[in-house]
Amino acid sequence: MSAANPSLSNQREPKVVLGFTNLPDLRTREPLQITRGKGIFVYDDTGKDYIEAVSSFYCTALGFSEEALIEAAVKQMREIPFYVSAMHRVVPAVEALAERLIAMAPIKNAKVAFSATGSEANDALIKFLWFHNNAVGKPRRKKVIARLGSYHGGTIATASLTGWVKYHKGFDLPLPGFLHTAQPDTFNDALPGESEEDYADRLVAELEQLIQANEPETIAAFVAEPVSVAAGLTVPPRTYWPKVAALLGKYEIRLFDDEVVTGFWRTGKLWGAETFGFRPECLTVAKALSSAYQPISATIMSDTFYEGLEKGSDEVGMFGHAGTYHGHPVAAAVALRTLELMEERKIGEHVQAVIPHFHRGLERFANHPLVGDCRMLGLTGAIELVADKKTRRRPEPAGTLATYFADRARENGLFVRPTGDSAVIAPPLIITESEIDELFRRFRVALDETLDWTVRTFPA
Ligand SMILES: Cc1ncc(COP(=O)(O)O)c(C=O)c1O
Protein backbone atom coordinates (compact mmCIF):
# COMPACT_ATOMS: atom_id res chain seq x y z
CA MET A 1 0.00 0.00 0.00
CA SER A 2 2.02 2.93 -1.18
CA ALA A 3 -0.84 5.47 -1.60
CA ALA A 4 0.12 8.89 -2.93
CA ASN A 5 3.35 9.22 -0.98
CA PRO A 6 5.60 11.74 -2.76
CA SER A 7 8.65 10.50 -0.85
CA LEU A 8 8.66 7.28 -2.90
CA SER A 9 11.18 7.64 -5.70
CA ASN A 10 9.49 5.29 -8.16
CA GLN A 11 6.20 7.17 -8.25
CA ARG A 12 4.29 7.34 -11.52
CA GLU A 13 1.21 9.35 -12.32
CA PRO A 14 -1.75 7.05 -13.05
CA LYS A 15 -3.55 7.83 -16.29
CA VAL A 16 -6.30 5.25 -16.61
CA VAL A 17 -8.46 4.47 -13.59
CA LEU A 18 -8.28 0.70 -13.88
CA GLY A 19 -11.13 -1.33 -12.42
CA PHE A 20 -10.56 -4.36 -10.17
CA THR A 21 -7.11 -2.92 -9.40
CA ASN A 22 -5.73 -1.64 -6.12
CA LEU A 23 -5.58 2.02 -7.21
CA PRO A 24 -2.56 3.07 -5.08
CA ASP A 25 -0.58 0.31 -6.83
CA LEU A 26 -0.96 2.28 -10.07
CA ARG A 27 1.46 4.84 -8.61
CA THR A 28 4.23 2.32 -8.07
CA ARG A 29 3.75 -0.31 -10.76
CA GLU A 30 3.16 0.04 -14.49
CA PRO A 31 0.13 -1.93 -15.60
CA LEU A 32 1.02 -4.78 -17.95
CA GLN A 33 0.75 -3.60 -21.55
CA ILE A 34 -0.99 -6.18 -23.73
CA THR A 35 -0.29 -5.28 -27.33
CA ARG A 36 -1.51 -8.07 -29.57
CA GLY A 37 -3.24 -11.44 -29.72
CA LYS A 38 -3.26 -14.59 -31.81
CA GLY A 39 -5.56 -17.58 -31.30
CA ILE A 40 -5.63 -18.33 -27.58
CA PHE A 41 -2.48 -16.26 -26.94
CA VAL A 42 -1.91 -12.61 -26.09
CA TYR A 43 1.46 -10.85 -26.07
CA ASP A 44 2.84 -8.03 -23.94
CA ASP A 45 5.00 -5.15 -25.14
CA THR A 46 8.17 -7.19 -24.61
CA GLY A 47 6.83 -9.95 -26.89
CA LYS A 48 6.22 -12.42 -24.02
CA ASP A 49 3.29 -14.74 -24.76
CA TYR A 50 0.47 -15.67 -22.38
CA ILE A 51 -2.26 -18.24 -22.80
CA GLU A 52 -5.43 -16.29 -22.07
CA ALA A 53 -7.03 -19.12 -20.12
CA VAL A 54 -9.91 -16.90 -19.04
CA SER A 55 -10.61 -15.55 -22.54
CA SER A 56 -10.01 -12.09 -21.01
CA PHE A 57 -13.06 -11.91 -18.70
CA TYR A 58 -14.72 -14.94 -20.42
CA CYS A 59 -15.08 -13.07 -23.70
CA THR A 60 -13.02 -14.08 -26.72
CA ALA A 61 -14.77 -17.31 -27.62
CA LEU A 62 -13.22 -17.31 -31.11
CA GLY A 63 -9.74 -16.28 -29.94
CA PHE A 64 -7.81 -13.09 -30.51
CA SER A 65 -7.18 -13.01 -34.27
CA GLU A 66 -10.36 -13.91 -36.12
CA GLU A 67 -10.08 -12.17 -39.50
CA ALA A 68 -13.70 -12.88 -40.42
CA LEU A 69 -14.86 -10.69 -37.53
CA ILE A 70 -12.54 -7.88 -38.53
CA GLU A 71 -13.89 -8.10 -42.09
CA ALA A 72 -17.47 -8.00 -40.81
CA ALA A 73 -16.69 -4.81 -38.89
CA VAL A 74 -15.01 -3.16 -41.87
CA LYS A 75 -17.84 -4.13 -44.21
CA GLN A 76 -20.43 -2.66 -41.86
CA MET A 77 -18.37 0.49 -41.36
CA ARG A 78 -18.30 0.99 -45.12
CA GLU A 79 -22.07 0.50 -45.44
CA ILE A 80 -23.14 2.62 -42.50
CA PRO A 81 -20.74 3.02 -39.59
CA PHE A 82 -23.31 4.30 -37.15
CA TYR A 83 -26.96 4.96 -36.87
CA VAL A 84 -29.16 4.78 -33.79
CA SER A 85 -31.62 1.95 -33.59
CA ALA A 86 -34.40 3.93 -31.91
CA MET A 87 -37.27 6.28 -32.80
CA HIS A 88 -38.81 3.76 -35.19
CA ARG A 89 -35.61 3.34 -37.18
CA VAL A 90 -33.33 0.34 -37.30
CA VAL A 91 -30.25 -0.81 -39.18
CA PRO A 92 -30.68 -4.20 -40.96
CA ALA A 93 -27.73 -5.83 -39.17
CA VAL A 94 -29.47 -5.16 -35.86
CA GLU A 95 -32.69 -6.79 -37.01
CA ALA A 96 -30.80 -9.73 -38.47
CA LEU A 97 -28.96 -10.27 -35.19
CA ALA A 98 -32.20 -10.13 -33.22
CA GLU A 99 -33.75 -12.66 -35.58
CA ARG A 100 -30.83 -15.02 -35.09
CA LEU A 101 -30.90 -14.67 -31.30
CA ILE A 102 -34.66 -15.32 -31.26
CA ALA A 103 -34.08 -18.53 -33.21
CA MET A 104 -31.40 -19.63 -30.71
CA ALA A 105 -33.07 -18.50 -27.46
CA PRO A 106 -34.55 -21.03 -25.04
CA ILE A 107 -37.69 -18.85 -25.00
CA LYS A 108 -40.51 -19.12 -27.54
CA ASN A 109 -41.25 -16.05 -29.65
CA ALA A 110 -38.71 -14.00 -27.71
CA LYS A 111 -38.06 -10.27 -28.10
CA VAL A 112 -34.60 -8.69 -27.91
CA ALA A 113 -33.38 -5.36 -26.50
CA PHE A 114 -29.74 -4.52 -27.23
CA SER A 115 -27.22 -2.68 -25.06
CA ALA A 116 -23.44 -2.43 -25.04
CA THR A 117 -22.34 -4.37 -21.93
CA GLY A 118 -23.45 -7.26 -19.77
CA SER A 119 -24.06 -4.82 -16.93
CA GLU A 120 -26.38 -2.75 -19.09
CA ALA A 121 -28.28 -5.83 -20.25
CA ASN A 122 -28.91 -6.83 -16.63
CA ASP A 123 -29.64 -3.27 -15.60
CA ALA A 124 -32.21 -2.98 -18.40
CA LEU A 125 -33.74 -6.26 -17.25
CA ILE A 126 -34.41 -4.86 -13.77
CA LYS A 127 -35.64 -1.56 -15.21
CA PHE A 128 -37.97 -3.40 -17.60
CA LEU A 129 -39.20 -5.58 -14.76
CA TRP A 130 -40.25 -2.57 -12.70
CA PHE A 131 -41.84 -0.95 -15.74
CA HIS A 132 -43.67 -4.16 -16.63
CA ASN A 133 -45.03 -4.65 -13.12
CA ASN A 134 -46.27 -1.06 -12.95
CA ALA A 135 -47.97 -1.48 -16.33
CA VAL A 136 -49.74 -4.72 -15.39
CA GLY A 137 -50.99 -3.42 -12.03
CA LYS A 138 -48.42 -5.03 -9.74
CA PRO A 139 -46.60 -1.93 -8.49
CA ARG A 140 -45.69 -3.53 -5.16
CA ARG A 141 -43.71 -6.36 -6.78
CA LYS A 142 -40.29 -4.79 -7.17
CA LYS A 143 -37.78 -6.67 -5.01
CA VAL A 144 -35.20 -8.87 -6.65
CA ILE A 145 -33.32 -11.81 -5.18
CA ALA A 146 -29.81 -12.67 -6.35
CA ARG A 147 -27.11 -14.87 -4.85
CA LEU A 148 -24.09 -14.24 -2.66
CA GLY A 149 -20.89 -14.69 -4.66
CA SER A 150 -22.53 -13.93 -8.00
CA TYR A 151 -21.46 -11.09 -10.28
CA HIS A 152 -23.97 -9.28 -12.46
CA GLY A 153 -22.27 -6.00 -13.33
CA GLY A 154 -20.95 -2.63 -12.29
CA THR A 155 -23.93 -0.26 -12.64
CA ILE A 156 -25.73 0.81 -9.48
CA ALA A 157 -28.50 -1.76 -9.94
CA THR A 158 -26.32 -4.62 -11.15
CA ALA A 159 -23.67 -4.03 -8.49
CA SER A 160 -26.62 -4.28 -6.07
CA LEU A 161 -27.53 -7.64 -7.60
CA THR A 162 -23.91 -8.73 -7.27
CA GLY A 163 -23.35 -10.67 -4.07
CA TRP A 164 -19.88 -9.57 -2.93
CA VAL A 165 -19.08 -7.06 -0.16
CA LYS A 166 -16.03 -5.85 -2.12
CA TYR A 167 -18.33 -4.48 -4.83
CA HIS A 168 -20.65 -2.81 -2.29
CA LYS A 169 -18.40 -1.43 0.42
CA GLY A 170 -17.93 2.33 0.16
CA PHE A 171 -20.42 2.59 -2.72
CA ASP A 172 -23.49 2.69 -0.45
CA LEU A 173 -24.73 -0.51 -2.06
CA PRO A 174 -26.76 -2.64 -2.37
CA LEU A 175 -29.81 -0.45 -3.01
CA PRO A 176 -32.90 -1.30 -0.95
CA GLY A 177 -34.99 -4.08 -2.46
CA PHE A 178 -32.03 -6.23 -3.56
CA LEU A 179 -31.89 -9.39 -1.47
CA HIS A 180 -29.29 -12.17 -1.47
CA THR A 181 -29.58 -15.86 -0.85
CA ALA A 182 -26.86 -18.51 -0.54
CA GLN A 183 -24.80 -19.63 -3.51
CA PRO A 184 -24.57 -23.41 -3.92
CA ASP A 185 -21.07 -24.28 -2.68
CA THR A 186 -20.84 -27.97 -1.95
CA PHE A 187 -17.16 -27.91 -0.96
CA ASN A 188 -17.49 -25.22 1.73
CA ASP A 189 -21.13 -25.28 2.64
CA ALA A 190 -22.49 -28.85 2.47
CA LEU A 191 -22.59 -30.46 5.92
CA PRO A 192 -20.55 -33.58 6.66
CA GLY A 193 -22.54 -36.57 5.41
CA GLU A 194 -25.18 -34.39 3.73
CA SER A 195 -26.27 -35.87 0.40
CA GLU A 196 -26.35 -33.77 -2.77
CA GLU A 197 -30.14 -34.00 -2.71
CA ASP A 198 -30.36 -32.90 0.95
CA TYR A 199 -27.99 -30.02 0.31
CA ALA A 200 -30.17 -28.84 -2.59
CA ASP A 201 -33.23 -29.08 -0.30
CA ARG A 202 -31.49 -27.00 2.35
CA LEU A 203 -30.56 -24.28 -0.16
CA VAL A 204 -34.11 -24.16 -1.44
CA ALA A 205 -35.48 -24.02 2.13
CA GLU A 206 -33.16 -21.07 2.84
CA LEU A 207 -34.45 -19.33 -0.28
CA GLU A 208 -38.03 -19.92 0.82
CA GLN A 209 -37.28 -18.47 4.27
CA LEU A 210 -35.86 -15.35 2.61
CA ILE A 211 -38.97 -15.03 0.46
CA GLN A 212 -41.28 -15.46 3.41
CA ALA A 213 -39.36 -12.98 5.54
CA ASN A 214 -39.65 -10.28 2.86
CA GLU A 215 -43.37 -10.16 1.96
CA PRO A 216 -43.55 -12.67 -0.91
CA GLU A 217 -46.05 -10.54 -2.85
CA THR A 218 -43.41 -7.76 -3.13
CA ILE A 219 -40.75 -10.00 -4.70
CA ALA A 220 -40.61 -9.76 -8.48
CA ALA A 221 -37.70 -11.85 -9.71
CA PHE A 222 -34.79 -14.16 -8.96
CA VAL A 223 -31.67 -13.39 -11.00
CA ALA A 224 -28.85 -15.91 -11.29
CA GLU A 225 -26.24 -17.37 -13.59
CA PRO A 226 -26.82 -21.11 -14.21
CA VAL A 227 -23.42 -21.58 -12.58
CA SER A 228 -21.44 -18.68 -11.18
CA VAL A 229 -17.83 -18.36 -12.30
CA ALA A 230 -17.49 -15.29 -10.07
CA ALA A 231 -18.28 -17.53 -7.11
CA GLY A 232 -15.51 -19.88 -8.27
CA LEU A 233 -17.49 -22.19 -10.53
CA THR A 234 -19.41 -23.68 -7.61
CA VAL A 235 -21.45 -26.17 -9.64
CA PRO A 236 -24.95 -26.52 -8.11
CA PRO A 237 -26.27 -29.90 -6.93
CA ARG A 238 -28.12 -31.79 -9.68
CA THR A 239 -31.61 -31.08 -8.34
CA TYR A 240 -30.96 -27.47 -7.33
CA TRP A 241 -32.32 -25.77 -10.44
CA PRO A 242 -35.57 -27.76 -10.86
CA LYS A 243 -36.31 -27.20 -7.17
CA VAL A 244 -35.51 -23.48 -7.30
CA ALA A 245 -37.68 -23.08 -10.42
CA ALA A 246 -40.60 -24.88 -8.73
CA LEU A 247 -40.27 -22.71 -5.60
CA LEU A 248 -40.24 -19.50 -7.64
CA GLY A 249 -43.32 -20.69 -9.53
CA LYS A 250 -45.13 -21.22 -6.21
CA TYR A 251 -44.61 -17.55 -5.26
CA GLU A 252 -45.05 -16.17 -8.81
CA ILE A 253 -41.48 -14.92 -8.82
CA ARG A 254 -39.93 -14.63 -12.28
CA LEU A 255 -36.77 -16.53 -13.13
CA PHE A 256 -34.17 -14.41 -14.92
CA ASP A 257 -31.07 -16.07 -16.28
CA ASP A 258 -27.75 -14.23 -16.59
CA GLU A 259 -26.01 -16.06 -19.46
CA VAL A 260 -23.38 -13.35 -19.91
CA VAL A 261 -20.64 -15.91 -19.22
CA THR A 262 -22.42 -19.24 -19.63
CA GLY A 263 -24.12 -18.55 -22.96
CA PHE A 264 -22.87 -19.89 -26.31
CA TRP A 265 -21.53 -23.36 -25.43
CA ARG A 266 -19.35 -22.37 -22.48
CA THR A 267 -20.99 -25.09 -20.35
CA GLY A 268 -20.98 -27.63 -23.20
CA LYS A 269 -24.49 -26.76 -24.39
CA LEU A 270 -25.70 -23.63 -26.13
CA TRP A 271 -27.17 -22.24 -22.88
CA GLY A 272 -26.25 -22.85 -19.27
CA ALA A 273 -30.02 -23.12 -18.64
CA GLU A 274 -30.04 -26.09 -21.00
CA THR A 275 -27.15 -27.73 -19.14
CA PHE A 276 -29.10 -27.45 -15.87
CA GLY A 277 -32.55 -28.09 -17.31
CA PHE A 278 -34.49 -24.95 -16.46
CA ARG A 279 -36.48 -22.45 -18.52
CA PRO A 280 -36.00 -18.78 -17.77
CA GLU A 281 -38.52 -16.08 -18.61
CA CYS A 282 -35.77 -13.67 -19.63
CA LEU A 283 -32.05 -13.97 -20.17
CA THR A 284 -29.09 -11.72 -20.80
CA VAL A 285 -26.09 -12.27 -23.07
CA ALA A 286 -22.88 -10.35 -23.86
CA LYS A 287 -19.16 -11.21 -24.08
CA ALA A 288 -19.05 -14.29 -26.41
CA LEU A 289 -22.01 -12.86 -28.34
CA SER A 290 -19.49 -10.90 -30.43
CA SER A 291 -16.45 -12.80 -29.15
CA ALA A 292 -16.04 -9.35 -27.52
CA TYR A 293 -14.60 -7.86 -30.70
CA GLN A 294 -17.27 -5.20 -30.30
CA PRO A 295 -19.22 -4.16 -27.19
CA ILE A 296 -22.73 -5.55 -27.48
CA SER A 297 -25.19 -7.29 -25.17
CA ALA A 298 -28.82 -8.30 -25.25
CA THR A 299 -31.77 -8.69 -22.92
CA ILE A 300 -33.91 -11.47 -24.34
CA MET A 301 -37.46 -11.69 -23.00
CA SER A 302 -40.61 -13.76 -23.33
CA ASP A 303 -43.44 -12.29 -25.38
CA THR A 304 -45.70 -12.03 -22.30
CA PHE A 305 -43.00 -10.00 -20.55
CA TYR A 306 -42.74 -7.85 -23.67
CA GLU A 307 -46.51 -7.33 -23.72
CA GLY A 308 -46.21 -5.59 -20.33
CA LEU A 309 -43.63 -3.23 -21.83
CA GLU A 310 -45.96 -2.56 -24.76
CA LYS A 311 -48.80 -1.72 -22.39
CA GLY A 312 -46.68 0.66 -20.32
CA SER A 313 -45.23 2.25 -23.43
CA ASP A 314 -48.67 2.86 -24.91
CA GLU A 315 -49.71 4.73 -21.78
CA VAL A 316 -46.80 7.17 -22.19
CA GLY A 317 -46.76 7.24 -25.98
CA MET A 318 -43.25 5.84 -26.23
CA PHE A 319 -40.94 3.42 -24.45
CA GLY A 320 -38.75 5.70 -22.36
CA HIS A 321 -35.59 3.67 -22.61
CA ALA A 322 -32.81 3.81 -25.21
CA GLY A 323 -29.07 4.15 -25.52
CA THR A 324 -27.11 5.78 -28.31
CA TYR A 325 -24.96 2.68 -28.73
CA HIS A 326 -27.71 0.11 -28.10
CA GLY A 327 -27.54 -2.09 -31.15
CA HIS A 328 -24.57 -0.26 -32.67
CA PRO A 329 -24.45 -1.37 -36.34
CA VAL A 330 -20.78 -2.40 -36.30
CA ALA A 331 -21.21 -4.31 -33.05
CA ALA A 332 -24.36 -5.98 -34.39
CA ALA A 333 -22.63 -6.98 -37.64
CA VAL A 334 -19.70 -8.46 -35.71
CA ALA A 335 -22.03 -10.32 -33.34
CA LEU A 336 -24.03 -11.68 -36.26
CA ARG A 337 -20.83 -12.90 -37.92
CA THR A 338 -19.71 -14.44 -34.61
CA LEU A 339 -22.90 -16.48 -34.39
CA GLU A 340 -22.60 -17.48 -38.04
CA LEU A 341 -19.00 -18.59 -37.53
CA MET A 342 -20.00 -20.57 -34.45
CA GLU A 343 -22.48 -22.43 -36.61
CA GLU A 344 -20.25 -22.78 -39.72
CA ARG A 345 -17.32 -24.05 -37.67
CA LYS A 346 -19.49 -26.24 -35.46
CA ILE A 347 -18.08 -24.63 -32.31
CA GLY A 348 -20.60 -26.49 -30.14
CA GLU A 349 -19.34 -29.83 -31.48
CA HIS A 350 -15.73 -28.73 -31.12
CA VAL A 351 -16.33 -27.77 -27.49
CA GLN A 352 -17.97 -31.11 -26.78
CA ALA A 353 -15.07 -32.91 -28.43
CA VAL A 354 -12.34 -31.18 -26.34
CA ILE A 355 -14.22 -31.13 -23.01
CA PRO A 356 -13.13 -34.67 -21.96
CA HIS A 357 -9.47 -33.80 -22.62
CA PHE A 358 -9.86 -30.52 -20.73
CA HIS A 359 -11.49 -32.27 -17.76
CA ARG A 360 -8.86 -35.01 -17.67
CA GLY A 361 -6.15 -32.34 -17.68
CA LEU A 362 -7.70 -30.50 -14.75
CA GLU A 363 -8.54 -33.66 -12.80
CA ARG A 364 -4.83 -34.43 -12.62
CA PHE A 365 -4.55 -31.56 -10.13
CA ALA A 366 -7.11 -33.02 -7.74
CA ASN A 367 -4.31 -34.78 -5.81
CA HIS A 368 -2.03 -31.77 -5.70
CA PRO A 369 -1.27 -30.81 -2.07
CA LEU A 370 -2.63 -27.28 -2.58
CA VAL A 371 -5.88 -28.25 -4.25
CA GLY A 372 -8.79 -28.61 -1.83
CA ASP A 373 -11.37 -28.98 -4.56
CA CYS A 374 -11.24 -29.31 -8.31
CA ARG A 375 -14.39 -28.37 -10.26
CA MET A 376 -15.23 -28.41 -13.92
CA LEU A 377 -18.17 -27.81 -16.19
CA GLY A 378 -17.98 -27.65 -19.95
CA LEU A 379 -14.96 -25.65 -21.02
CA THR A 380 -14.61 -24.06 -17.58
CA GLY A 381 -12.67 -25.23 -14.57
CA ALA A 382 -11.61 -24.12 -11.12
CA ILE A 383 -9.34 -25.19 -8.34
CA GLU A 384 -9.86 -24.12 -4.76
CA LEU A 385 -6.57 -23.64 -2.96
CA VAL A 386 -5.90 -24.66 0.63
CA ALA A 387 -2.66 -24.68 2.63
CA ASP A 388 -3.58 -28.04 4.13
CA LYS A 389 -5.74 -30.57 2.33
CA LYS A 390 -6.96 -32.34 5.48
CA THR A 391 -7.86 -29.34 7.65
CA ARG A 392 -8.65 -27.09 4.64
CA ARG A 393 -6.63 -24.40 6.40
CA ARG A 394 -6.09 -21.30 4.27
CA PRO A 395 -4.17 -18.16 5.03
CA GLU A 396 -5.87 -14.84 5.73
CA PRO A 397 -7.06 -12.75 4.06
CA ALA A 398 -9.19 -14.97 1.84
CA GLY A 399 -7.74 -15.18 -1.63
CA THR A 400 -4.07 -15.05 -0.57
CA LEU A 401 -3.18 -18.36 -2.24
CA ALA A 402 -5.30 -17.85 -5.36
CA THR A 403 -3.84 -14.38 -5.92
CA TYR A 404 -0.30 -15.69 -5.51
CA PHE A 405 -1.04 -18.56 -7.89
CA ALA A 406 -2.47 -16.15 -10.47
CA ASP A 407 0.72 -14.06 -10.19
CA ARG A 408 2.91 -17.13 -10.67
CA ALA A 409 0.75 -18.22 -13.59
CA ARG A 410 1.20 -14.82 -15.19
CA GLU A 411 4.98 -15.05 -14.74
CA ASN A 412 4.80 -18.43 -16.46
CA GLY A 413 2.76 -17.13 -19.39
CA LEU A 414 -0.76 -18.00 -18.31
CA PHE A 415 -3.71 -15.89 -17.24
CA VAL A 416 -6.07 -17.46 -14.70
CA ARG A 417 -8.74 -15.60 -12.72
CA PRO A 418 -8.49 -15.64 -8.93
CA THR A 419 -11.83 -15.33 -7.13
CA GLY A 420 -11.97 -15.87 -3.38
CA ASP A 421 -9.73 -18.87 -2.69
CA SER A 422 -10.37 -20.31 -6.14
CA ALA A 423 -8.74 -19.80 -9.51
CA VAL A 424 -10.94 -20.14 -12.57
CA ILE A 425 -10.09 -20.95 -16.17
CA ALA A 426 -12.37 -20.64 -19.21
CA PRO A 427 -10.21 -20.59 -22.35
CA PRO A 428 -11.36 -19.50 -25.80
CA LEU A 429 -13.76 -22.10 -27.22
CA ILE A 430 -11.45 -22.68 -30.20
CA ILE A 431 -8.73 -24.18 -27.98
CA THR A 432 -7.21 -27.44 -29.28
CA GLU A 433 -6.10 -30.51 -27.31
CA SER A 434 -2.41 -29.68 -27.68
CA GLU A 435 -3.07 -26.13 -26.50
CA ILE A 436 -4.95 -27.55 -23.51
CA ASP A 437 -1.82 -29.62 -22.72
CA GLU A 438 0.37 -26.50 -22.86
CA LEU A 439 -2.14 -24.61 -20.70
CA PHE A 440 -1.95 -27.29 -18.00
CA ARG A 441 1.86 -27.52 -18.28
CA ARG A 442 2.11 -23.84 -17.36
CA PHE A 443 -0.62 -24.30 -14.76
CA ARG A 444 1.41 -27.04 -13.03
CA VAL A 445 4.60 -24.99 -12.91
CA ALA A 446 2.71 -22.08 -11.35
CA LEU A 447 0.94 -24.35 -8.85
CA ASP A 448 4.20 -26.02 -7.78
CA GLU A 449 5.82 -22.62 -7.28
CA THR A 450 2.80 -21.60 -5.20
CA LEU A 451 3.24 -24.75 -3.13
CA ASP A 452 6.92 -23.94 -2.42
CA TRP A 453 5.94 -20.45 -1.31
CA THR A 454 3.03 -21.70 0.81
CA VAL A 455 5.17 -24.26 2.63
CA ARG A 456 7.77 -21.58 3.40
CA THR A 457 5.35 -18.80 4.27
CA PHE A 458 2.52 -20.61 6.08
CA PRO A 459 4.09 -23.64 7.82
CA ALA A 460 1.68 -25.97 9.60
C1 LIG B 1 -22.29 -13.27 -15.07
C2 LIG B 1 -21.97 -11.86 -15.45
N3 LIG B 1 -22.97 -11.01 -15.67
C4 LIG B 1 -22.76 -9.74 -16.03
C5 LIG B 1 -21.47 -9.26 -16.17
C6 LIG B 1 -21.25 -7.82 -16.54
O7 LIG B 1 -20.83 -7.70 -17.85
P8 LIG B 1 -19.98 -6.42 -18.32
O9 LIG B 1 -18.69 -6.46 -17.59
O10 LIG B 1 -19.88 -6.59 -19.80
O11 LIG B 1 -20.78 -5.22 -17.97
C12 LIG B 1 -20.39 -10.10 -15.97
C13 LIG B 1 -19.00 -9.62 -16.14
O14 LIG B 1 -18.04 -10.31 -15.94
C15 LIG B 1 -20.64 -11.44 -15.58
O16 LIG B 1 -19.64 -12.29 -15.31
Contacts of 167 (CB under 8 A, 6+ apart): 151, 154, 159, 173
327 Cα to the center of ligand 1, angstroms: 18
Q: Mutation test of ligand 1: which of 115, 123, 151 has the most ligand atoms closer than 8 Å to its C-beta?
A: 151
Q: Is the CB–ligand 1 distance for residue 233 below 6 Å?
A: no
In this predicted structure, the answer to whether residue 1 has a pLDDT above a threshold of 80 is no
Cβ(227)–Cβ(233) below 8 Å: yes
Residue 248: in which H helix or E strand, if any? helix 240-250
- The ligand 1 atom nearest the CA atom of 155: 11
Q: Is the CB–ligand 1 distance for residue 119 below 6 Å?
A: yes
Q: How far apart are the first and last CA of the chain?
A: 28
How far apart are the C-alpha atoms of 427 and 301, rounded to whole Å? 29
In this predicted structure, the answer to whether residue 211 has a pLDDT above a threshold of 80 is yes
Predicted local distance difference test score (pLDDT) of residue 460: 83
261 Cα to the center of ligand 1, angstroms: 7
Q: How many residues does the chain have?
A: 460
In this structure, of 3-7, 244-248, 309-313, 389-393, the range with the lowest mean pLDDT score is 3-7
118 Cα to the center of ligand 1, angstroms: 5
Q: Is the CB–ligand 1 distance for residue 76 below 6 Å?
A: no
Please give the share of the chain, as a percent, with pLDDT higher than 90. Answer: 97
**Mean local confidence (pLDDT), 283-300:** 98
In this predicted structure, the answer to whether residue 8 has a pLDDT above a threshold of 70 is no
280 Cα to the center of ligand 1, angstroms: 18
How does the average pLDDT of the chain come out, rounded? 97
- The ligand 1 atom nearest the CA atom of 225: 1
Amino acid at 172: D
How far apart are the C-alpha atoms of 307 and 131, rounded to whole Å? 11
pLDDT (tens digit per residue) in 109-136:
999 999 999 999 999 999 999 999 999 9
12 Cα to the center of ligand 1, angstroms: 30
Cβ(72)–Cβ(81) below 8 Å: no
- The model's pTM: 0.97
Amino acid at 393: R
349 Cα to the center of ligand 1, angstroms: 25
Largest Cα–Cα distance of the chain, in whole Å?
69
Q: Is the CB–ligand 1 distance for residue 225 below 6 Å?
A: yes
Q: What are phi and psi of 252, to 5 degrees?
A: 55, 40
